[in-house]
């Protein structure tokens, strides 16, 4: 069953959020993402708040990604003075329209 980890991160300011978003884009290669993620979605709700949704093939992938990458990154983000809320669990239904190419909608 697909599993999801969601982070709601409230950064101390807009610059630290932009820096984090840039770091995520440049330091997580597509090959690395394929080893862990089925899909990653980032949602910005204000200048300093972001939601980061990471979908995994199964619970083992979720745990492995946390152990190998997540814990260290979590600590780094907290050191910025950010408030982080973490939620994770199974996704009983995930339906994506197969006729849509999501890459065409990415910035």
pLDDT of residue 1: 86
pLDDT of residue 29: 54
pTM of the model: 0.80
Strands (E), the chain: 3-10, 37-46, 49-56, 83-90
pLDDT of residue 12: 96
pLDDT in tens, the chain (107 residues): 889 999 999 999 999 999 999 888 777 655 555 667 788 888 999 999 999 999 998 999 999 999 988 899 899 999 989 999 999 998 877 666 666 666 665 54
pLDDT of residue 24: 82
CA angle 36, 70, 50 (to 5 degrees): 95
């Amino acid at each position: 069953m697909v599993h999801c980890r969601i982070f709601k991160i409230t950064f101390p300011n807009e610059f630290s959020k932009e820096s984090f978003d840039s770091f995520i884009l440049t330091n997580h290669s597509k090959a690395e993402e394929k080893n862990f993620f089925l899909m990653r979605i980032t949602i910005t709700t204000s200048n300093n708040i972001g939601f980061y949704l990471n979908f995994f093939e199964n619970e083992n992938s979720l745990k492995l990604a946390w152990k190998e990458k997540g814990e260290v990154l979590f600590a780094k983000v907290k050191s910025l003075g950010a408030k982080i809320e973490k939620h994770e669990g199974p996704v009983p239904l995930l339906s994506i329209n197969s006729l849509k190419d999501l890459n065409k909608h990415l910035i």
